[in-house]
A and B are shown apart, each in its own frame.
Chain A
Amino acid sequence: MGAVFALVTVLAFVIVVYVGVGVAGLKSLFGIVIPYAAFLVFLLGMVYRMIDWAKVPVPFRIVTTCGQQKSLRWIKRSRLEAPYNNFEVVLRMILEVFAFRSLFRNLKAELKGPNLIYGSYKWLWLGAIAFHYAFFTILLRHLRFFTYPVPEPIQILDQIDSFFHIGLPHLYMTDVVILAALTFLFLRRLADPKLRYISLASDYLPLFMIYGLVISGILMRHFFKVDVTQVKEFTMGLVHLKPKAPNVGVIFYIHLFFISALMAYFPFSKLVHMVGVFFSPTRNLANNSRAVRHEPAPWWKKPKFKTYCEWQEEFKEQLIESGQPIDEDCYEKK
């Protein structure tokens, strides 16, 4: 149901661009207005989301410890899984953000007869890491359209990515990887009944938008060719704020529309996990709350409770009967 909705939405995008550019010739709208607007929405939206989270305090240190704490000198502690100071927290976060550490722990439970068995299950990690790194590399590669002269590292990256020299223009490895990863991430949502049950339309939509983005890019590079020099003149115009919509095939406008849609969608969807992960209080705090006092949130009020003296008054008889000391200070203070 959600998948169908996402598919229809993405197809509608294609039709809208096809009609808008191909038939109505609205090149400036689709080439300039929408991309600029989408980028602004992305930039401001993401900054807004981060500020929105930052406005809320983290009242307590709710670290999730996944390794030995620092306690006795001779007990080996886990610096990465139970960080004790900010430096170790940074290391933990680097592993989390760049290596998807927690996902790497993944297990798959199986019920075999009367026994529960937990096997290592790294496929989700592999799919996720392949997808994210491929996407990131593709983004970096696209800097060749936004820089002149193109920096050496970007050129090298491009050449490594097309290392196998398959076809001309060369096939990028990341294009293959991202398609495979997307397909895996999509199919697992359909194939596993549990995942199908939890998946919403808003889980399929980003997958399909990225599918649209990647497929339109591949088609443009290898099949429905466009004049790449004109494309770069256009993209350089964008970053110099002197844009001029290029006179190239609709496929380019479809590709551009998908990235615009994705950018605009980003801040208002689950995709905010990109910056959200940095804010996660179970991961980004040090497990040192017994060693260092952390001030409570401004809204926190120390609780009112029954003081000893109030309590002593109430249970005085029993205390005396059972020979427990009576605190005379309670009366002196009065």
Chain B
Amino acid sequence: MAKLPKPDELIKSIDWTPPEKDWMDDVPPDIKPGRFCYPAKKNILEEIGFPNPRDWSPLDEDWKLPSNYREIIIEGMKDRLSKYRSFKLFMDICVRCGACADKCHYFLGSGDPKNMPVLRAELLRSIYKGELTWQGKFFGKLAGARKLTEDIIKEWFYYYYQCSECRRCSVFCPYGIDTCEVTMMGRELLHLVGCNTNWILEPVRNCFKIGNHIGIPPHTIKEIIEYLCWDIEEVTGLKIEVPFNKKGAEILFVTPSGDYFAEPGIYTMMGYIILFHYLDLDWTMSTYASEGGNFGLFTSHEAMAKINAKIYHEAERLGVRFIIGGECGHMWRVKHQYMDTATGPAPKNLETPRSPITGTVFEHAKSTKMIHVCEFTADLIAHGKLELDPSRNDKYIVTFHDSCNPSRGMGFFEEPRYILKHVCNNFYDMPENTIREKTFCCGSGSGLNTDEFMEMRMRGGFPRANAVQYVRDKHGVNMLACICAIDRAALPTLMNYWAPDVKVCGVHELVANALVFPHEKTGERPRTLDMRQEPLKPEEEENA
């Protein structure tokens, strides 16, 4: 694995001035360790039936592409140009105004000019022009056109796996050109010739075959959750049994499998369990549809739908009334923008979500029948259905990281903030140009949160971390709350590198900390520990 530079070295190495040499002459890219993910293993590709399974490395001279790779890619491109208006339009209308140039976190952190969204798209656009338009064929470089070569495939692989599909650029684009769409198409094309990454495709394989990214079989899921329930007992004294595959339950709860077993995601998972127990909710988890997340989204539209389809299938089998989805970024992009169209309509047994506690009908989800757990909880708080003691989170000074997908794919800003403001006393937002629709990616989104990609992750995460540093220095922030499982996996590493004294949590971890159970009120068993089994009030502990 590549050696990671120290933070100050990394900052010094950032230079946004592009080289003198024209980018069209500057292929193949200088492929550097720490800036690419390992290729998908041969057996993984074989198992999911993807083309050209083989052993290779991006550092090799010969990538062992199929001999007719040119035809494959060009045909694939034509096919997608006839299927996705977004792709065709975005290939045609960019004026290279440069508004997006300094909006990409990977560009800000690396200074690599091909990480400017405009140029990232141009890598594909130039081939579209050069191979498929008469202007490009006739005027060549003058029209920004190139011919497809093996070097271009390498360049695509390098840069379409240095884009986290965060869509920040598309907020600023005067035509709404969305690099995420371009990257998605770039990756789909790369799959056709067998250039893809293991970190994405192994979870996809696991999802197809077993039911979740990590490949946890059903009995293990139950075991893991039972462990969490023991921890919950430790903290709250409550004996909770989580229902699995329960037919006739009112609600199916789906959440990313990352939160089943890894810190700090497990605390968020515990938070859900405690909250649902508090409400005495008739809910169930599924060990079949055990994945809310969807690495298929980072693979292809087809893979995304294939993974997502299980949720409706399971909701139908179990006969639930509606679905609640946990805190997760890309999962919610899928649920909000793709689920209904790609895998719907929702099964007939599902109804417009209606909170059994408050009676609120979630009209905005009347077709998908799926709501975000934060929508559910914010509604509970607004109706005064939760007794909360925000002082239990007093040791935390909290800020909130808007995850890319809920922000720019849903418009999900106020719900989590509303919750945070009710469950903790110290909440400070980061500077306005780094939050909400202008939020920065954690640097590891879209299936890039792998160790071998660490340098690029730290570079891409720099803008986010820098904004955290700002509120840490100004307000003493020590807790970064988020609503995304990839964030919970990636941000601790990022904070460790850039802002070591800031921890990461999910919103529902803080909810569970603040939630006051009746038996706690009577003094039977007052809460002294938080979800992490650390003292709620450290100073008092020391004094005692």
Contacts and interface: CB of A to CB of B under 8 A. Distances in A.
Interface of A: 1-2, 5, 49, 52-53, 55-78, 81-82, 84, 96, 100, 102-103, 105-109, 111, 114-116, 118, 124, 128, 188, 192-203, 268-270, 272-273, 276-277, 279-283, 287-297, 299-300, 302-308, 311-312, 315, 318-319, 321-325, 327, 329
Given A202-B144, A324-B245, A290 B367 contact: yes
Contacts, number: 325
Given A72-B375, A308-B317, A194 B101 contact: yes
B359 interface: no
B240 interface: no
A106 B172 CA distance: 6
A287 B410 contact: yes
Contact of B342 (A60, A269, A306): A60
A67 B409 CA distance: 10
Closest 3 A/B residue pairs (Cβ): A69-B411, A322-B219, A65-B411
Contacts of B81: 56
Interface stretch (B174-182, B192-200, B272-280, B511-519): B174-182
A290 B113 contact: no
Contacts of A293: 340-341, 344-345, 367
B437 interface: yes
Given A124-B97, A194-B102, A72 B379 contact: yes
18 contacts: A56-B83, A58-B84, A59-B83, A67-B437, A72-B382, A77-B411, A82-B411, A103-B97, A103-B174, A105-B172, A194-B102, A198-B23, A198-B101, A198-B122, A293-B340, A293-B367, A305-B313, A329-B317
A107 to B, nearest CB: 6
B142 A5 contact: yes
B537 to A, nearest CB: 32
Contact of A116 (B108, B302, B317, B379): B108
B143 interface: yes
Given A64-B171, A311-B211, 17 more contacts: A52-B88, A56-B85, A102-B99, A111-B16, A115-B466, A115-B469, A194-B113, A195-B96, A270-B93, A277-B175, A279-B85, A289-B368, A290-B370, A297-B83, A305-B306, A324-B245, A325-B247
A143 B370 CA distance: 55
Contact of B246 (A111, A290, A325): A325
Contacts of B180: 62
Given A116-B462, A282-B178, A307-B313, A107 B218 contact: no
Given A61-B341, A66-B437, A198-B96, A116 B463 contact: yes
B135 interface: yes
B143 A300 contact: no
B522 interface: no
A62 B86 contact: yes
B375 A281 contact: no
Contacts of A109: 102-103, 108, 463
B142 A2 contact: yes
Given A72-B378, A78-B411, A200-B142, A302 B174 contact: no
A114 B8 contact: yes
A62 B370 CA distance: 18
Contacts of A115: 466, 469-470
Contacts of A2: 142
A281 B89 contact: yes
Given A290-B336, A296-B342, A306-B209, A64 B309 contact: no
A283 B95 CA distance: 17
B317 A200 contact: no
B493 interface: no
Q: At the interface, is chain A mostly helix, strand, loop or mixed?
A: loop
A196 to B, nearest CB: 8
A302 B466 contact: no
Given A62-B86, A71-B362, A272 B118 contact: no
Contacts of A322: 218-219, 222-223
Contacts of B462: 116
A161 B434 CA distance: 41
Contact of A277 (B93, B98, B217): B93
Contacts of B14: 111
Contact of A308 (B141, B288, B335, B379): B288
Contact of B306 (A52, A282, A304): A304
Contact of B337 (A62, A81, A312): A62
A197 B364 contact: no
A66 B408 contact: yes
Interface residues of B, number: 119
Interface stretch (B32-40, B255-263, B413-421): B413-421
Contacts of B467: 116
B456 interface: no
B19 to A, nearest CB: 8
Contact of A201 (B142, B178, B181, B368): B142
A105 B176 CA distance: 12
B187 to A, nearest CB: 16
Most chain A CB inside 10 Å of its own CB: which residue of B119, B142, B245, B247: B142
Contact of B364 (A128, A290, A300, A303): A290
B67 interface: no
Nearest to A103: B174
Interface in B135-162: 135, 139, 141-144
B16 A63 contact: no
A195 B88 contact: no
A280 B379 contact: no
B168 to A, nearest CB: 10
Most chain B CB inside 10 Å of its own CB: which residue of A290, A304, A315: A290
Interface string B184-219: 000000000000000000000000110100000111
Contacts of A77: 411
B96 A200 contact: yes
A280 B173 CA distance: 11
A2 B11 CA distance: 33
Given A62-B181, A300-B342, A322-B219, A194 B116 contact: yes
A197 B83 contact: no
A61 B142 CA distance: 35
Given A2-B142, A324-B245, A195 B101 contact: yes
B337 A63 contact: yes
Contact of B411 (A67, A199, A269, A300): A67
Contacts of B55: none
B365 A61 contact: no
A118 B433 contact: yes
B167 interface: yes
Contacts of B375: 71-72
Contacts of B118: 198
A272 B176 contact: no
A124 to B, nearest CB: 6
Interface string B100-114: 011100001000010
Nearest to B466: A116
A308 B222 CA distance: 17
Contacts of B367: 289-293
A303 B92 contact: no
Interface string B455-478: 000000011001101100000000
A290 B108 contact: no
Contacts of B83: 56-57, 59, 297, 299
